[in-house]
Structure 1
Amino acid sequence: MIPTSFLLLFALLGSSKALTILPPVEAETAQQKPVVAHFMVGNTYPYTVNNWLYDIKLAASKGIDGFALNLGRDTWQAARVADAYAAAMSSNTGFKLFLSFDMTSLPCASPDDAGALQSYIRSYYAHPNQFRYAGLPLVSTFAGENCRFGRGSLDDAWASAVKPAGGMPVYFLPSFFVDPASFSGLPVMDGAFSWNSGWPMGNYAANFSMDTTYVSNLGGRSYMAAMSPWFFTHYGRDTYNKNWIFRFDDWLVVERWEQLLQHRDQVALVEIITWNDYGESHYIGPIDGAQPNSQSWVNGFEHQPWLDLLQYYIQAFKTGSFPPISRDRVFLWARLYPAGADAPDPVGRPDGWTYTQDILWGTVFLTAPADVTLSCGPSVKTMRVAAGVTKVMLPLVATCDVQAKVVRTNKVVVDHKPQGFRFRTDPPSYNFNAFVSAS
């Protein structure tokens, strides 16, 4: 099961950014705020409790507070959810879980369908590792705006499913793909999750406009924002018929965090999209479990090096203060093939392929000023970089191997030559996934 991200078209805004240094977060905004990651239960068919335990411990070590368990209609998923809660309890990490009903998969036409959701909620309502917000178990969705559960209105429908009379109260933060202007007529919501805020919905740099629209229409209710490092899906018409990118240029993974930090007072929670959705290429966890026929663009494209980069921003968002830079590091990511090059691929180029440039994106963490050199074949750039966190980039123009060097007082302190990070001008397929590395 793979959820399809619904397109919301917004006006073209913003422009690409050059080399910049991250601004500080004001200390007076310091207040602990949760960060969770979306987890596709549908990709865990072969999982055991030990698989869950590994993922939970890894996520917790990077500052992630919990997983939003994306649940579909497969009957076996109930057992995997039970394993997840058991693993969380045995992990001794304080890691939490909550249910995120995937309504592009689950049925929602009848009162019995609502009862099935209630049964899930009851099963984990009092679990010690149930994620709670404002003292109540958090419940979310992917979609659900077309559900009625045998009721007349959307609000009545979801009240019957998650807040029935005499039922167990929950904190309901759905991701409905509706006009935010309709939120005033949906009192069943305790807030909203904006799934598509994780990426620009057109050919423009990331901005906070969609978030602002949500916040202004929630009337003080809680806003859960999305952040995502990437988006590429490449299914042909004979399978899921999903073949497009969302714009991920201009250091999206960093830019999005910067915007969330700048508007931290408006954002109650952040949900990272995703831990393990391989089909849409925005996974940050290990490549494990059962891929949804995405091996051709996922295998060999590890994203875990992003986790340490995310950890820095997660801590800043949760606490309101950036952690100190304790060592020099370089984080790099790019597509491995030119966007405009032809490939022997029957699926064809993804929609939106003109949104992306052939550029190596990077972020440098420095304990003190240094000279940073990025190189790939004939493309070489050396720059003086200040202490702190700095965004860097390098055009990719020819078949080459990526390298980054950090030199301070004539001494090489970082020499990063990531294995497999080779840009090729002769792509074997239209693979727009990211190759990610960290020194």
Structure 2
Amino acid sequence: MPEVSFSNTSGGSPKGEHNPIARALGYIRPPASPMKNSHWTKGPGHTPIRAGEDQEAVETEAAAAATRKYVFAHFMVGNTYPYKQADWLADIKLAASQDIDGFVLNFGREDWQRDRVKDCMTIAKTLPDSIPFKFFFSFDMSSIPGNTEADVQLFRNYMEPHWKNPRMFRHPRNNRVVFSTFAGENCTFGQGSTEYGWAYLKHELQRICGMTHFVPSFFINPTRYREICAMDGAFNWNGGWPLHLSASSPREEVVNARLDSDFAYIENLKTEDKTFMAAVSPWFFTHYGPNSWNKNWIYRGDDWLFVRRWEQLVSMRDSIDMVQIISWNDYGECHYIGPIKGAQPNSQAWVDGYPHIAWLHLNRYFMKAFQTGSYPAITKDQIFLWARPHPKGASAADSTPRPDNWELTDDTAWMVVFATADAIVEGYTTEDDKVTFNVKAGMTKLSFPLKPDGGMKATVIRNGVVVTECNPIAYRFESRPGVYNFNACVAMST
């Protein structure tokens, strides 16, 4: 690592590159607005820390955890304005019940967000040993300034009161507190360049909490990672979506969309023994008009995107250190897997009434395979089913037009079946459109076409008996929607 010295100069032009497709980066983020357990058992490697244990105990846990893989969920603090400690506790317990290792707390510049983080970290100290849940911070640099030396103060304000909290996640290789960013590739902190700016920031944090482990999401060419000595790894924020697709893409490419951007990250991190954090996400739709945040597009979430991406990450497990689920509660982009609560960023028109909790339960099966290296046994027949709320070509009296790339999606219901033995699966929108499948024991991905003004339903039948069914009775594939809504309704059998 090159030696770095710091000047007292301020200003200067950042050297960070601008990606020409800022929208594809998801760079413009909305500002903040003022179950039961399933049958899988907890995986190995969970060694809880009691609040107040000394540094030696923390180091012992780090050594024990060094051989396992970790999965965190991206948590938007900006959507928690009305949260109390009880709300934090409920979310933590729900995520932990599904074996998610922790939350990545993403926050912006507003002072009230620091208060919500304080509430979260305070309740975290009270967690029992049975909830082995951790946190690390993600500084949202699309909101937080990073141009002057004074801008480092916000980082101090977060790290100083919390770095000793035993629930803060420390990297198992070096026991250093982990932190991340959304963006920040153009920040200089008054040092004249991205490289010197982030090195200066880490140097300042070292005065507070010792050495840290920095794994940012910088939207730059991965070949630049070796120039930025402050980086201890990288997070490929966009890795879970087929961003390269457009309405003009060949159909064969659309239905077999590649998710291959991880390889450039891995190639440029492996020689430095740095951390690679991959992304997985079930969906993407945002619908803000020009009079708002001017974000109105989809990424193709068809073809069981969530499942296919998890299968890919499991197959690449030896090359990936961590996975971040995008997201727990980002309602504005429709990839939430947690409950709909808190303060939405004016996304109620396309979020309310469209729960995604079933994805949280589906996530567990694949996540456990990544964490432990083995898929869990399937001991319960179960159906997971999701679909959009109206035909893609339907017209709506909506002041905001159809989202860009609306042509990419299909009018299809997507289904995943867990079967304990061979069975027959039926899927349909009406009794006249029933589709029948023969499935083997295990996990099977299925789909069937949607019919305007119909619903969606699926059953698993064995020996002539319905053993489970999924029938979201409130769902209707509306032929005449009131607004353009390319979100998903996600359901599961009980």
Which of 228, 253, 257 pairs up with 2:310?
257
Structure 2 length-normalised TM: 0.82
Which of 89, 95, 98 pairs up with 2:133?
95
Tell me the C-alpha RMSD between the 2 structures. 1.6
- Aligned to 1:112, the other structure's residue is in SS state helix
Quote the residue 1:78 is aligned against: 114
Which of 331, 336, 341 pairs up with 1:288?
341
Once residues 189 and 306 of structure 1 are traced to their aligned partners in structure 2, the CA distance between those partners, rounded to angstroms, is: 32
Quote the residue 2:49 is aligned against: none
Quote the residue 2:258 is aligned against: 207
- Aligned to 2:434, the other structure's residue is in SS state strand
Q: Does the aligned pair in 2 maintain the 1:231–1:282 contact within 8 Å?
A: yes
- Aligned to 2:435, the other structure's residue is in SS state strand
What amino acid sits opposite 2:115 in the alignment? A
Alignment of 1:76-225 (within 5 A): 76-92=112-128, 93-133=131-171, 134=173, 135-164=175-204, 166-167=206-207, 168-203=210-245, 204=254, 205-218=256-269, 219=271, 220-225=273-278
Shift of 1:94: 2.1
Once residues 354 and 22 of structure 2 are traced to their aligned partners in structure 1, the CA distance between those partners, rounded to angstroms, is: 22
Q: Which moved more, 1:417-426 or 1:219-228?
A: 417-426
Quick one: higher RCO (CA 8 Å, sep 6+), 1 or 2? 1
Which of 381, 386, 395 pairs up with 2:449?
395
Q: Deviation digits for residues 93-124 of structure 1, max 9, x if unmatched?
A: 12111110000001111101013213322221
Once residues 426 and 251 of structure 1 are traced to their aligned partners in structure 2, the CA distance between those partners, rounded to angstroms, is: 26
Quote the residue 1:7 is aligned against: 24
Q: Deviation digits for residues 328-352 of structure 1, max 9, x if unmatched?
A: 0000011010111111111000011
Which of 421, 426, 434 pairs up with 1:373?
426
Quote the residue 1:228 is aligned against: 281
Quote the residue 1:35 is aligned against: 71
Q: Which moved more, 1:257-266 or 1:111-120?
A: 111-120
Shift of 1:245: 0.5
Q: Does the aligned pair in 2 maintain the 1:398–1:423 contact within 8 Å?
A: yes
Task: Pick closer, same or farther for the CA change 1:165–1:314 going to 2, 3 Å.
Answer: closer
What amino acid sits opposite 1:375 in the alignment? Y
Once residues 43 and 112 of structure 1 are traced to their aligned partners in structure 2, the CA distance between those partners, rounded to angstroms, is: 27
What amino acid sits opposite 1:132 in the alignment? R
- Aligned to 1:317, the other structure's residue is in SS state helix
Pairs aligned (count): 416
- Aligned to 2:69, the other structure's residue is in SS state coil
What amino acid sits opposite 1:65 in the alignment? D
Once residues 337 and 463 of structure 2 are traced to their aligned partners in structure 1, the CA distance between those partners, rounded to angstroms, is: 35
- Aligned to 1:363, the other structure's residue is in SS state strand
Shift of 1:369: 0.4
Once residues 234 and 224 of structure 2 are traced to their aligned partners in structure 1, the CA distance between those partners, rounded to angstroms, is: 12
Task: Pick closer, same or farther for the CA change 1:293–1:250 going to 2, 3 Å.
Answer: same
Q: Deviation digits for residues 247-293 of structure 1, max 9, x if unmatched?
A: 11110010010000010111100000010010010111111100000
Task: Pick closer, same or farther for the CA change 1:40–1:165 going to 2, 3 Å.
Answer: closer
Which of 319, 322, 339 pairs up with 1:269?
322
Once residues 67 and 205 of structure 2 are traced to their aligned partners in structure 1, the CA distance between those partners, rounded to angstroms, is: 34
- Structure number with the higher strand fraction is 1
What amino acid sits opposite 1:101 in the alignment? F
Q: Does the aligned pair in 2 maintain the 1:115–1:161 contact within 8 Å?
A: no
Shift of 1:163: 3.3
Q: Deviation digits for residues 294-319 of structure 1, max 9, x if unmatched?
A: 00000000001111100111111100
Once residues 229 and 369 of structure 2 are traced to their aligned partners in structure 1, the CA distance between those partners, rounded to angstroms, is: 32
Once residues 406 and 165 of structure 1 are traced to their aligned partners in structure 2, the CA distance between those partners, rounded to angstroms, is: 55
Alignment of 1:421-436 (within 5 A): 421-436=475-490
What amino acid sits opposite 1:383 in the alignment? F
Shift of 1:398: 2.6
Task: Pick closer, same or farther for the CA change 1:414–1:5 going to 2, 3 Å.
Answer: farther
- Aligned to 2:224, the other structure's residue is in SS state helix
What amino acid sits opposite 2:194 in the alignment? L
- Aligned to 2:461, the other structure's residue is in SS state strand
Once residues 130 and 42 of structure 1 are traced to their aligned partners in structure 2, the CA distance between those partners, rounded to angstroms, is: 20
- Aligned to 2:214, the other structure's residue is in SS state strand
Tell me, which stretches of 5 or more residues in structure 1 are unaligned?
10-29
Q: Deviation digits for residues 335-379 of structure 1, max 9, x if unmatched?
A: 010111111111000011011001000100000000000011243
Larger radius of gyration: 2
Once residues 164 and 195 of structure 2 are traced to their aligned partners in structure 1, the CA distance between those partners, rounded to angstroms, is: 26
What amino acid sits opposite 1:155 in the alignment? E
What amino acid sits opposite 2:199 in the alignment? A
Quote the residue 1:12 is aligned against: none
Shift of 1:166: 5.0
Q: Deviation digits for residues 60-93 of structure 1, max 9, x if unmatched?
A: 1101111111010111111100111112222221
Percent of aligned pairs with the same amino acid: 49
Task: Pick closer, same or farther for the CA change 1:166–1:375 going to 2, 3 Å.
Answer: closer
Task: Pick closer, same or farther for the CA change 1:188–1:6 going to 2, 3 Å.
Answer: farther
Shift of 1:202: 2.7
- Aligned to 2:455, the other structure's residue is in SS state strand
Task: Pick closer, same or farther for the CA change 1:40–1:5 going to 2, 3 Å.
Answer: farther
Tell me, which stretches of 5 or more residues in structure 2 are unaligned?
1-20, 27-65, 246-253
Quote the residue 2:300 is aligned against: 247
- Aligned to 1:436, the other structure's residue is in SS state strand
